[in-house]
Structure 1
Amino acid sequence: MAVKNLSAVLHAKLDLRLENRDVPAIGEEDVLIRMGPVGICGSDIKYWTHGYCSGVFVLRAPMVLGHEGAGTVVQTGSKVGNLKVGDRVAIEPGVPCLRCRICREGRYNLCPRMQFCATPPVHGNLTRLFKHPAAFCHRLPESVDLEHGALVEPLAVAIHACNRGGVKAGSLVLVCGAGPVGLLCMWVAKCAGALGVVVTDIDDQRLAFAKEKGADYVINVRGVEEPIAAQQIISAAGCSPDVTIECSGSDYSMTLGIHATHPGGSVVQVGRGTQIPSIPLTLAATKEVDIKGVFRYANCYPTAISLISSGQLPGLKSLISHHFPLAETEMAFKTALSRDAGAIKIIIECDQ
């Protein structure tokens, strides 16, 4: 009897189906993974609700969703030497060409030939059995379980964002947006030695959670004009933030960051706002505030796994608010979209 490979397949906007697909045949440098937990990302929600993400990546054919995954190796290709059957792995979803100039420079996340899980036309890992190059599967130490493994991907985003912003010992950091990536940026900044972290949002419940989890200051900016909100941040913290990390996907927060950030500091854009935002670039230039983009991550998985295994992020799994079996994927997506559900990070268990 053929093995059934149940998968969550998006056919079009709001058309998400569970289908039994063929088990993928692995190549000599691939591994076959029995998937465990897979997190729902904002990009997954965007594809489901709009059929596109960031205005650039457009769904044109059925695609398996999911890119925040971990699982157990069940088969290895003939040339795989770094993994064996039974190893538990966190899957780095982006596979670059490793040959172009940008890859050779080490910034492989910007590779023009990047193949990234659940980015059209590449299938994701919200499936029972998934094939992936062994070079981009990171073995998990015994102290790191598969749920932690599924959180490595968003944690890598936070590490890359803090690296881009130059967060260091003594920095004051402003994080705009108290969602999962914002909270992870807060924790990573603290691990890097940040003197304090201010978190802004428009949701009191999320701000209360951020405060409980270590934010030094939280400010609700709903309905507050950016220059006034900036002054509130400076007054609360006693000085201007050295680094702002925008995680809300709001043009408002980019403007807020430019107003609030100390002259000579950095504003890092993690969230995706409008394609052509209206932000005060002249003010940024006058203050010599560097605006830096973030696109996924590069060389951050080992650091993420090390932070988890060393116990520096003891509250990491508290981000997981809901669990669903693979058969209830659509309900999981509806829960992620619902404000009433109070979801933070939703995990789909592919082996259930």
Structure 2
Amino acid sequence: MDPKTASNLSFILNKPHDVTFSSKPVPTLKSSHDVLVAVNYTGICGSDVHYWEHGAIGHFVVKEPMVLGHESAGTVVEVGPAVKTLKKGDRIALEPGYPCRRCEPCLSGHYNLCPDMQFAATPPYDGTLTGFWVSPADFCYKLPDNMSLQEGALIEPLAVAVHIVRQAAVSPGQTVVVMGAGPVGLLCAAVARAFGASKVVSVDIVESKLAFAKSFYSTHTYMSQRIPAEQNAANILAEAGIDNGADVVIDASGAEPSIQTSLHVVRMGGTYVQGGMGKSDITFPIMAMCLKEVTAKGSFRYGSGDYKLAVDLVASGRIAVKKLISGIVSFDKAEEAFKKVKQGEVIKLLIAGPNEKIA
């Protein structure tokens, strides 16, 4: 693909529910270690939908027009002179956040916590729903021949799940409960199984999501009810045949009732990881956490090794991410795709890049 003749059409959010398509200049390499990537496919994340719906997430507010999207895979079309790991024509999964590499979190191996992180589609930085994208070469992960570019676009949410499950230190034979059966929750269940968990329970309030979870990697499912959190917790453990609580509980929903239930589901001395984001402040069962001496952790995006492992899990056949793809839409239908995701009609929709032809 020739960047000089191909389209760099971009999907731009001006303000909530106000989007435009505009052709932007093709970006140039900023460093000898950069590569120019033609974006082939981009998935729609909940955060993208939240910006489209509300124009902000927490203190990240869209003040100027911003290109959406960050779950992308593409093809290398130009490489900087210092790049040794990639060449023109390589197909890659794109890690969309670039840290400073110099601060204490970066130097200690926690670059996802870098205070100067430049993350795609997080104000004020543009995202990847565009024709071409410049990236540091070491944040591009070459796809093996047996992986499609569509699967490559799902490496980003899979890397989120890998990071969450690594935070939980899931090990063979453990029991794991995952609250929420959206894309990240489903992938957390898949990664937990790949890490050797013997029993993985998915919990949600939508029956169709639980039906899919059971056909994906969950061994058990539970439909959460409008009852006290302790009763929901007891029902989860009883229906899954788990004695004395789950070894690991992951909340991938961010919903207050799910978080409350989680602390009653986890066993004495177990591990609880918060992966989903919700309200800034909630009522939290601190007594349950203290009396059980629970190890509680947060999880944010992904860090060193997570993307590499995510690619390997797909390439090796251990996680079939393609089952999550509900459909692929053309670039000019991007806003329609956002509406479908918002309405909960799909699991994961991919938007083909402006230069990608789809049937």
User: Which TM-score band (shorter chain)?
Assistant: over 0.9
Give the aligned length: 348
Shift of 1:290: 2.0
- In structure 1, the partner of 2:260 is 255
The aligned amino acid for 1:8 is: F
TM-score by length of 2: 0.95
CA deviation vs aligned residue, 1:152-186 (integer Å, no higher than 9, x gap): 11110111101111111111000011111111111
Kindly state the Cα deviation for residue 3 of structure 1 after the two structures are TM-superposed.
4.7
Give the equivalent residue in structure 2 for 1:319.
Answer: 324
Q: Which amino acid aligns with 1:312?
A: R
What is the CA-CA distance between 1:282 and the residue it aligns to? 2.1
2:234 maps to 231
Say whether 1:44 aligns with 2:66: no
Whole-angstrom distance in 2 between the partners of 1:237 and 1:210: 14
Query: Matched residues in 1 for 2:247 and 2:19: separation?
Result: 43
Distance (Å, rounded) in 1 between the aligned partners of 2:293 and 2:64: 44
In structure 1, C-alpha distance between the alignment counterparts of 2:219 and 2:294, rounded to whole Å: 23
* Higher mean C-alpha displacement, 220-229 vs 200-209: 220-229
The DSSP-based 3-state class of the residue aligned with 2:269 is: coil
Q: How far is the alpha carbon of 1:192 from its aligned partner?
A: 0.5
Structure 2 match to 1:82: 85
1:77-156 paired onto structure 2 within 5 Å = 77-156=80-159
1:267-286 equivalences under 5 Å are 267-286=272-291
Residue in structure 2 matched with residue 178 of structure 1 by the alignment? 181
TM-score (norm 1): 0.96
The residue type equivalent to 1:37 in the other structure is Y
* Inter-partner Cα distance in structure 2 for 1:273 and 1:291: 17
Shift of 1:25: 1.2
The aligned counterpart of 1:208 is: 211
Q: Partner of 2:38 in structure 1?
A: 34
Cα displacement (A) at 1:33:
0.8
> Separation in 2 of the partners of 1:163 and 1:3?
40
Cα deviation, residue 82, structure 1: 1.3
**Match of residue 310 from structure 2:** 304
Within 1, Cα distance between the matches of 2:237 and 2:257?
17
- 1:323 is aligned with what amino acid? I
Q: Does residue 25 of the first structure (1) align with residue 28 of the second (2)?
A: yes
Instruction: Return the match for 2:190 from 182, 187, 190.
Output: 187
1:288 is aligned to 293
Identity of aligned residues (%): 44
Q: Secondary structure at the match of 1:265?
A: strand
Give 3-state SS (helix, strand or coil) of 2:189's partner: helix
Counterpart residue identity of residue 73, structure 1? V
**Structure 2 unmatched runs, 5+:** none
Work out whether residues 97 and 114 of structure 1, in 8 Å CA contact, stay in contact via their aligned partners in 2.
yes
For residues 71 and 140 of structure 1, what CA distance do their matches in structure 2 show?
A: 10
Per-residue CA deviation, residues 72-109 of structure 1 (Å, 9 max, x unaligned), is 00111122221110000100111111111111110110
SS at 1:291's partner residue?
strand
Question: In 1, are the aligned partners of 2:225 and 2:232 still within 8 Å (CA)?
Answer: no
Q: Is the 8 A contact 1:61 1:121 kept in 2?
A: yes
C-alpha RMSD of the superposition: 1.2
Cα offset, 1:124, TM superposition: 0.8
Match of 1:4 in 2: 7
Gaps of 5+ in 1: none
Are 2:202 and 2:210, in contact at CA under 8 Å, matched by a contact in 1? yes
2-side partners of 1:186 and 1:193: how far apart?
11
The 2-side partners of 1:148 and 1:66 are apart by 16
- After superposition, the C-alpha distances for 1:270-302 in whole angstroms (9 at most, x for unaligned) are 111110111111221111112211110102011
Q: How far apart, CA to CA, are the structure 1 residues paired with 2:183 and 2:229? A: 23
Structure 2 distance, partners of 1:244, 1:79, is 44
Give yes or no for the alignment of 1:165 onto 2:168. yes
- Of 324, 332, 335 in structure 2, the residue corresponding to residue 330 of structure 1 is 335
Alpha-carbon distance between aligned partners in 1 of 2:38 and 2:234, rounded to the nearest angstrom: 51
Residues of 2 paired with 1:152 and 1:118: CA distance?
A: 17
Q: Which moved more, 1:236-245 or 1:159-168?
A: 236-245
Runs ≥4 in structure 1, deviation > 4 angstroms? none
Contact 1:94 1:115 in 2 (8 A): yes
